[in-house]
Amino acid sequence: MFLNSCGRFILKDEGVENKSIEELSGVSSAKTNLDGLNTTISEIAQTGGSSGLLSGSFVVPADGISFLLSIFLGSSSSIKFYSLTDPDGLDILSASSTPNLYNEASGRLGSSGYANVLVPQSPSFSAKAGTWTFKAYTNDRVSIALRTGSTPSAATILIQPYITGTTWSAGDISAALSVMSGIYSANGITLTINSTITISNTQYSVVSGTFTDSTTSALVTQGSTATVNLFFIEDYSGSWSGILGNAAGIPGSM
């Protein structure tokens, strides 16, 4: 997650190895185990149809906890899913469904080169066991990161903050981290926040908000494994300038 100096951030999910979005675009299969939770990444085969859309499916097992369905396109064109239907026949990307992620998921709204749908994205959703199906616009590949196992009864999240550039220091973000910790605590989640790490390389003080950008990808890959990495930056570049923050999959991919 990237945070601008006064509050912009980029979240990097560390559930599956220490890989950036750019690197994961080429992953066909990977598996890791962390604290009793298994995370598997796999590419999904797609077939064409008369509608011009590509379609595919995947199975969430009985012990499925969450999944991140990602879509990739090598060009700068916008890419997105047309639909994502759960085992009960509900298209959660349709505006007419209740609940839905119609205006919430980048995988429905569209994004340059990469977009995703995170389930569950709120308490209104669940990674229902059974076969899920999707339809997607022209793309290079679709992959799924599926997490299975037992949900811990006492949730603790390890946070690793980073700060780039020379304008701000660790002391400038301590208040924001304290507020964040308080919000999570009120919801029964403990945050363990490590000491802030300063990244002195000036090329990372201002980066693109696009995760497939080479500089952004290089910064994100410096994140630690088994943590939620928060990158506090001075600003975004180009048209992203002024944006408060973004993440590959708010509220945290997986």
| Low-confidence winner among 179-183, 191-195, 219-223, 248-252 (lowest mean pLDDT) | 248-252
Q: What percent of the chain has pLDDT over 70?
A: 83
Nearest CA among 93, 70, 80 for reference residue 136: 80
Strand partners, 10: 2
Average pLDDT over all residues of the chain: 84
How confident is the model at residue 111, as a pLDDT? Answer: 86
Domain boundaries, the chain: 2-17+152-246, 36-148
Q: pLDDT per residue over 14-57, tens digit each? A: 333 334 444 444 445 566 555 567 889 999 999 997 788 999 99
> Would you place residue 187 in the very low, low, confident or very high pLDDT band (cuts 50, 70, 90)?
confident
Per-residue pLDDT tens over the stretch 89-101 = 999 999 999 999 9
Say if residue 201's pLDDT is above 60: yes
Least confident range of 4-13, 53-62, 185-194, 216-225:
4-13
Model pLDDT, residue 246: 83
Q: pLDDT-based confidence at 2, cuts 50/70/90?
A: low
How large is the average pLDDT for residues 149-167?
A: 87
Residue 35: exposure state from Cβ atoms within 10 A (0-12, 13-18, ≥19): exposed
Distance CA 105, CA 9 (A): 18
pLDDT band at 253 (very low <50, low <70, confident <90, very high): very low
- The pLDDT assigned to 48 comes to 92
Give 225's pLDDT tier (boundaries 50, 70, 90).
confident
Could you check whether the bond before residue 161 is cis, i.e. omega within 30 degrees of 0?
no
The predicted model gives 149-170 an average pLDDT of: 88
| Higher pLDDT pick, 117 / 24 | 117
CATH code linked to domain 36-148: 2.60.120
